[in-house]
A and B are shown apart, each in its own frame.
Chain A
Amino acid sequence: MEIDKAESGIPLHKLEKQILSVLREKDGLNFAEIGAKAQIKVDQVRRAIEWLKTKGLVTEQTIKEGIIELLETGKGASRNGLPERRLHNFLRERGGKVQLNEITSKVLSSDEASAALGIARGSKWIEIKKENGHTFVHLRGELSPTPEEELISTLSSPRRLSTLTNKERIAYTSLARRPGFVLEVTSKEVKIKLTKGGQSILIEEGDEINVTAPPPMIYSGRKHPLQSFMDEVKEIFVSLGFEEIVGPLVQSAFWNFDALFTPQDHPAREIQDTFYLRDLKVVSPASPDLLDRVASVHQDGGATGSRGWGYRWNKDLTSRVVMRTHTTAVTVRYLADKMPEEARVFSVGRVFRNEKVTFKNLVEFHQIEGITVGSRVTLRDIMGLLTRFYERLGMKKVKFWPSFFPYTEPSLQSMVYNEKFSKWVELCGMGIFRPEVTRPLGVKNPVLAWGGGLERLVMLRYGLDDARYLYENDLEWLRGVPLCP
């Protein structure tokens, strides 16, 4: 759907619409007046006016204005009459003739009196005469209501200067000459006026949202996709009845290799392939009994019925320390510790290979591994377990074929069909631990084992073709990658 911007105009908030309507009835109101008419709070008015201003729909006009108000004397005059009125009234009460000092002592202060007498004499409604050494004031005419009096009666609350009539203006000028009567203050007032746009903009009924406006992007915190995939894998393991085990990244060569029947001159053990830790040795990688059993299984098969590798096994090489090259080091230690007759355990963790880093090889990567121990477990069982495992990861087509691993026999390799890329991909390897591995540990029942790289599965899931990207920490990708691709 296309929306023409010009036609739809600028989106307006509800408050904005209310204010525009009020101003169209009467332009040039101040905040309080708008608030009163639209029945919204003044601070809301202020806010909405800011929006309207940025949209160019209203302008603000600041108006400076004089305000007049009564001071104390003025207020008194407003209550009791101006001094000249009081003088006039006093004279009439006394029959039109009063001694001057009586006025200042009974009616007016001396300041008031001199002012009032000045005015009265100027308007010729009194006469002042000296008789017998005394000064007398005689009333000679009527004082009709004055403009000053009229003005003062309207000033019970302050008035804007601009509201005075011409007559009142003259009266104000006269009053202002008298000290303490009135005060003029200047006030600033902000008035809101509609612009041309404000007068013409279409105010539509109801609340509207501009659906075409880009919303601000809000990113959620996220686990790394590899970690979140790992969680999924762990959940699948648990759902298949597997218990999680963990173990150190750093292992003795004994647990990483010897216990797994890897001969001591095996290429995988060379420093070209395995990270040995400099200047570190384990005092005793295992109990003397176990070391003896492993020694003889390497040399001549010991009590396992195997021929062994037929070489002289060197105990010193077992105490070297390596970064584990597979999680199987953890698994085999578990087997040695628990000697289980029945078990299902799994382990997911980092492993290390001294390799050149390429798009498919990392020096450090994650491995998943599961083992099943039982008196009646079979090679077909491991195929079934792995099929179920892949199925739960959404991979339905699985193939198996024979393979080789130094510590399992028989050994198989698995391939799954990737729908996204329409190709078969090699994944986990599996097998049954050789008797040369399990018997010296005291494990009598067969142990099914399978394992593989986690990164490869993650890459399939997220459609990556370079394993290094998982460790690039491209924040755009980390925050934007779909949760369930």
Chain B
Amino acid sequence: MTVYFDRLKSMLDGEISREKLIDTIPYLGLDIEEEADKYLRIEYNPNRPDFSTDYGLARALNSFLGFQKSWDDYTVSHSGVVVNVDKSVAKVRPYLVASLVSGVDLDEESIRQIISMQEDIHNGIGRRRRKVSIGIHNFEVLKPPIDYLALESDFSFTPLHGTEEKTIAEILARTDVGQEYAHILSGSKLYPILKDAGGTVLSFPPIINGNATKLTGVTRNLFIEVTATDLNAAKDALSVMVTALADAGGEISDVAVKYRDKNLVTPDLRPQSFVLNLDYANSLLGLELDAKQAIDCLRRSRIPASSEGDRRIVASVPRYRFDLLHEVDLVEEIAIGYGVNNMKPTFPEGAFSGARERGQIVIGKLKDCLSGLGLVEVLTFSLVSREILSNANLDNMDSMVRVTDAKTAEHEILRESLLPSMFSVLSRRTIAFWTQSVLSSVCATDSGTLTKTRSYSFALVLTMPTTSTSIALIIPVVVVVRRVKKSPTFAFKARLNSLPSTAPGV
């Protein structure tokens, strides 16, 4: 999220310096990634899509800084607009929720903020549009009621920014956005379409909107539709979107969504009620807040609350805070409202005796011995490339465990032996190896298997001026290894190899 200082300050109900602002933002749980003259680039955590616009940030800052001690709930008026959900969508993208936002006057930066929020929702809770996608339309050109139905692939309309009609099949096969998201609809013979009473196509979710309903500079009334494979996620996304638009000056109106078996009226922005045990909160945080203080902390986190007796707090969680699942989430809100920087670290009470794990102790001893013999430890990866294995002349590559869809061929196969990696170290370090008379390597890793056997492997590669010196060094190594092998709690696999330095290329 990019936030311009001027714009943000105009949204705040109080005065704050740039420095104080920069100091404060992290204590909302946000990371400042870049500080420029005019703007900040901020990263928010994926559980808080309401932070994807500066509207959401301003909202949080206003309460956190105490600029707003109370605020009105978001109200939803009645629009009378109806969307009919046809049963044909049930198998491809079954859910739709919608809303009207009227009277918005969006400047260029506001539009940019809303579009970036839309993208963030698509990629976050929308799971790259698979689960949820949002369309924003010019309501002024629409003729309700609106139909949500599934059509065959030869249905055609003019997609967003297009000049001529294209069939669904063409859009999926020939446009960038179609190719990118076609997989979401694969396997379906019918494709979801939203069109109004006049036959104007709003969108082909989750791929692309129609061109006819696109926003223009003078659009004041917006129709927001969210289609989804999960109804709750659709409602969540809608709540985040319309509350941001409301903060941008819009008035929210509901839409009646008629399914064959149920009628919904969306959005439903009624807060959710959570009960919090104050003692639970205090015991987790290590604080001794009374009800009033806790309620004050929650208010700073923009969660209105009241007390029920001394120890019970009833919080009224705004709809867009669907990240709250359990009363423990309110505990965190109290911590944030209290200010994490105001919490003094304490050291936990109780006496504990620490200890190293037995196998690790043995490995440590072995490493000490190997170091004493002049060996240098190298570090190599457990996931290796085919190349490393084939260079080591391993022919059982196909029977080795491979990972799916590795982003790089360097890390594709779970190695069974350390030696191929060691050879690769040798081959890349030829010069360094040759310039020294004695040079050796040892590597240790652990590799677990599903049968719960666990093996530690050591591999040594020694390059020496003569074979006899390397044999001379291997003998004590073998002795060391043998001794370790006797350890009863420790399965050990040792592989030794010596390479006379006269071998070319090694």
Contact = CB atoms under 8 A, between A and B. Distances in A.
A265 B126 CA distance: 10
A174 B347 CA distance: 113
Given A241-B353, A271-B405, A385 B348 contact: yes
Interface in A219-256: 219-224, 226-227, 231, 234, 237-250, 252
Interface in B375-429: 375-383, 401-408, 410-411, 414, 425, 428-429
Given A372-B348, A377-B348, A478-B377, A275 B364 contact: no
A448 B345 CA distance: 14
B162 interface: no
B283 interface: yes
B360 A244 contact: yes
A188 interface: no
Contacts of A410: 284-285, 328, 331-332, 335
A309 B262 CA distance: 23
B42 to A, nearest CB: 13
A380 interface: yes
Interface residues of B, number: 90
Interface stretch (A106-114, A165-173, A399-407): A399-407
Contact of A475 (B46, B348, B376): B376
A221 B374 contact: yes
Nearest to A362: B381
A350 B452 CA distance: 17
B378 A224 contact: yes
With a 10 A CB-CB cut-off, give which of B230, B325, B408 has the most chain A CB atoms.
B325
Nearest to A375: B283
Interface stretch (B13-21, B22-30, B167-175, B180-188): B22-30
Interface stretch (B135-143, B202-210, B441-449): B441-449
Contacts of B357: 243-246
Given A409-B326, A409-B329, A434-B328, A363 B383 contact: yes
B325 A306 contact: yes
A432 B335 CA distance: 13
Given A401-B26, A402-B332, A435 B377 contact: no
With a 10 A CB-CB cut-off, give which of A239, A245, A275 has the most chain B CB atoms.
A275
B367 interface: yes
A197 interface: no
Interface string A279-312: 0101000000000000000000100111111110
Given A378-B284, A404-B45, A271 B404 contact: yes
A367 interface: no
A374 interface: yes
A250 B381 contact: no
A406 B411 CA distance: 27
Interface stretch (B244-252, B302-310, B431-439): B431-439
Interface in A257-283: 265, 267, 271-272, 275-278, 280, 282
B345 A301 contact: no
B120 interface: no
Interface stretch (A86-94, A151-159, A200-208, A353-361): A353-361
Interface in A470-485: 470-471, 473-476, 478-479
B435 to A, nearest CB: 10
A249 B446 contact: yes
Nearest to B451: A248
B36 interface: no
A105 to B, nearest CB: 73
B403 A280 contact: no
A432 B406 contact: no
Contacts of A399: 341
Contact of A222 (B326, B341, B371): B371
Contacts of B29: 401-404
A356 to B, nearest CB: 5
A240 B230 CA distance: 46
B370 interface: yes
A18 interface: no
B347 A388 contact: yes
Contacts of A318: none
A446 interface: yes
B356 interface: yes
A411 interface: yes
Contact of A380 (B343, B350, B448): B343
Contacts of B346: 378, 380-381, 383-384
A243 B383 contact: no
Contacts of A237: 354
A308 B432 contact: no
Interface in B29-85: 29, 31, 45-48
Contacts of B403: 275-278, 323, 354
A459 interface: no
B340 A400 contact: yes
Contact of A227 (B284, B328, B379, B449): B379
A476 B408 CA distance: 28
A31 interface: no
A47 to B, nearest CB: 23
A364 B350 contact: no
A401 B336 CA distance: 8
A412 interface: yes
Nearest to A285: B450
A473 B380 contact: yes
A248 B401 CA distance: 15
B36 to A, nearest CB: 18
A22 interface: no
Given A385-B347, A404-B48, A473 B382 contact: no
Interface in B316-330: 325-329
A409 B364 contact: no
With a 10 A CB-CB cut-off, give which of A308, A364, A401 has the most chain B CB atoms.
A401
B359 A221 contact: no
Contacts of A242: 352, 354
A198 interface: no
B344 interface: yes
A241 B351 CA distance: 7
A383 B328 contact: no
A357 B410 contact: yes
A344 interface: yes
Interface in A57-74: none
A321 interface: yes
B254 to A, nearest CB: 22
B279 to A, nearest CB: 12
Contacts of A301: 325-326
B495 interface: no
B493 interface: no
Given A222-B371, A400-B340, A363 B381 contact: yes
B372 interface: yes
Contact of A379 (B284, B379, B407, B441): B284
A349 interface: yes
Interface in B237-289: 283-287
25 contacts: A219-B374, A221-B373, A222-B371, A231-B364, A238-B354, A238-B356, A241-B354, A243-B353, A244-B356, A250-B448, A276-B403, A306-B325, A307-B325, A342-B352, A350-B445, A352-B382, A356-B407, A363-B383, A364-B382, A374-B350, A384-B346, A385-B347, A448-B348, A474-B429, A474-B432
A-B pairs with the 7 shortest C-beta distances? Answer: A248-B448, A378-B286, A241-B352, A404-B45, A238-B354, A410-B332, A380-B286
Given A267-B46, A404-B46, 8 more contacts: A242-B354, A244-B354, A278-B401, A306-B326, A363-B383, A372-B348, A377-B348, A473-B378
Interface of B: 26-29, 31, 45-48, 127, 131, 230, 232, 283-287, 325-329, 331-332, 335-336, 340-341, 343-357, 359-360, 364, 367, 370-383, 401-408, 410-411, 414, 425, 428-429, 432-433, 436, 439-441, 445-450, 452, 454
